[in-house]
Structure 1
Amino acid sequence: MYNRLEDSTRIIIGIIGGIIYAVGVGLIIFSFASFFLAPAIGMVFTSMFTLVILGIVASSIGRALVGMARTRKYSGPLDDQRSLRREVQEDMTYNYTFVSDREAKTERKKSQSYSRCPECDAENDDRASTCQNCGASLVGYKKCSLCYKLNEMDKRFCSNCGHDFNLD
């Protein structure tokens, strides 16, 4: 990024743009005023429309010059923009993952069969009869299909995630 115009050039273009804009607005005002004063001034009716068109063109050019004088920087040549566009696109790349932590853990652990201790929540092999961490018995419980927590047989809902066992 670099300056488009030097300060002195910007000031000159701003002044010239302001003058051209004022002349354009003046032409438009004069042409509408002369519409009502045409018999007194002796102007031809078509010259008034010419002044309106010239006023619109002059005011548009004047506004463009004033706007150009106010802009301090521009993006530069097209080659500079390509690298910047790549950087912006890389920054805008989002990784949308709408999977909760529990579901992600469930997907990760599906490859191995395990159950979680009802006492200490430690992960144990499905074939284990006692917990590796606390030594509690793992026999006589039913396993939740979502979080693999062992629950008492008479419970309808999982004590960890609230899953309804009747839905299995």
Structure 2
Amino acid sequence: MAVFRIERFTPLPAAESWRRVTDWERHAAHVPLTSVTVPTGSPSRIGTVFVARTGVGPLAFDDPMEVVRWTPPAAGRAGACRLEKRGSVVLGRASIDVLPTNSGSHVVWVEELRVRLLPAWGDPLLASCGRRMFGGVLDALLDGPVRRATEGTGATGRS
């Protein structure tokens, strides 16, 4: 399983960072050849399902995800969202934590991915590509000056 962690510090308040990074349909604007639909509708909560469809024509696949934890930030408390990936191609989980700071917020995104038919020796390449792609998505969603934190390759700090 490929595991990677991305962190960003932003001057945005935690509630605004949360709103932006959990706007599932907005993610598609930053991932090539991908559209996102939310068949269960908004607002997000436990049980919300959204589907990222990536590819062109018959070479496309669906990546359905379900929200299994939904705790928005409030009153100085961190927000936590957990997603389970339940597709026929992409499996795994993701966590998005938004922590309030004195100067804005700290966003931590951890992905654990498995791509069917990809051998385990491909995990480091998958993690590297994922870190780059999802880091760009996170930067675009936060849309403003952000300070990068140290990015690790392993799962750390998951709650």
Q: Give the structure with higher Rg (CA).
A: 1
Superposition TM-score, scaled by structure 1 size: 0.23
Which structure has more relative contact order (CA 8 Å, sep 6+)? It is 2
Give 1 or 2: higher helix fraction: 1
Superposition TM-score, scaled by structure 2 size: 0.24
Give 1 or 2: higher strand fraction: 2
